[in-house]
Amino acid sequence: MKISVLKESAPGETRVAATPETVKKIVGLGHTVTIEAGAGASASFPDDQFKAAGAEISADGGIGGADLVVKVRRPTDAEIGKIKAGAGFVSLLEPYGDKATIDALAKAKIDAVAMEFIPRISRAQSMDALSSQANLAGYRSVIEAAGLYGRAFPMMMTAAGTVAAAKVFIMGVGVAGLQAIATARRLGAVVTATDVRPATKEQVASLGAKFVAVEDEEFKQAETTAGYAKAMSAEYQAKQAALVTEHIAKQDIVITTALIPGRAAPVLVTEAQAKSMRPGSVIIDLAVAQGGNCPLSKPDELVNANGVKIMGFTNLPARLASDASSLYSKNVLALLPLLTDKDSKAFAPAWDDEIIKGAMLSKAGALVHPHFAPKSAA
């Protein structure tokens, strides 16, 4: 199978979908890999390292003759026009925010796999790109908060006096939230966290943080079978808001991470709550790309609200380009056997496999994922 790895074109995107380490393994499996010139430069993987691993380097990544094209982010219209019919395409496609792209992929008869739709099952953990990238985003969110916060994180006892530990509140305890908790704790902060999913209470406690939530009957049923948070009722949101309002006013740093697939991000920190924090406090909004958990957040722009610094990041993993690329490329490598004929090594997705069924958006010219396919084809 001929595999093409393209250079990312999205603004601020520094990641690359392959590394010299994964290229060497892919070539060892009997495939050929062509890297678009300069694709790994922003992630500190120069072309000569890819060459040494067995890849070819070309100006266009060999896209026209490729059986499988791989990126981190969605393809451009120009790239779709160069991919041959019947080929595969793998990336984080962000289909809820850009259906035009997946329509174009289907029209071009490209079999498109969305890495964010990899099912959250044990067998697919090594392919779960959302989790691998969210881990890094959670870590980096705390580092960014520390950079904006004008004080120290840990308690410090000096001859000149004592510096109090920073109070950090994590809202949304998914993969990113858990890593944020762990990182803030390592830096010496006093950490609290909240989530609508009851299973997270024990996880929060295991990391040495305190759980904050209204624990009523709705709270006990607030998780989907896939492990995602459900949208909560207005009544529950009001009760939780009252509790959170009091808590936020006492915090130095708030980090919000709550997302609901296919829907706008829920508002977790209102304008009034944000402005109730003392000057110099920091809010980091990881959901700003889907509308934000705080209405004052602006994508990749620092907002000052009554002295409170509010920063919404749309792509924190790109600020850890080398590690993010390494993890993402390993996710793709783990998926590769499900896209390959065992004997011929040709591109041949295992259509009946539940992982492929869950992640495949288009097949043979039609949208096939149940969230996007016409009713008759779903």
**CB-side neighbour CA atoms (13 Å) of 265:** 24
Measured distance CA(370)–CA(378) in Å, rounded: 5
> Residue 52 belongs to what H/E stretch?
helix 47-52
- The beta strands (E) that lie in the chain are given as 2-5, 32-36, 56-58, 68-70, 88-91, 111-114, 156-158, 161-163, 167-171, 190-194, 210-211, 253-256, 282-285, 302-305, 308-312, 362-363, 366-367
CB 33 within 8 A of CB 56: yes
Catalytic positions, please?
A: 120, 125, 128, 131, 228
Measured distance CA(78)–CA(88) in Å, rounded: 16
Beta carbons within 10 angstroms of residue 19's beta carbon? 25
Question: Which residues does residue 35 pair with via DSSP β-bridges, in sequence order?
Answer: 5, 57
- Residues in CB range of 245: below 8 A, 6 or more apart: 270, 272, 273, 276
DSSP state of 16: -
CB 105 within 8 A of CB 88: no
Measured distance CA(358)–CA(339) in Å, rounded: 13
**CB-side neighbour CA atoms (13 Å) of 246:** 8
- Closest to 66 measured CA to CA, from 96, 86, 42, 38: 86
CB 234 within 8 A of CB 150: no
Beta carbons within 10 angstroms of residue 228's beta carbon? 13
Beta carbons within 10 angstroms of residue 162's beta carbon? 9
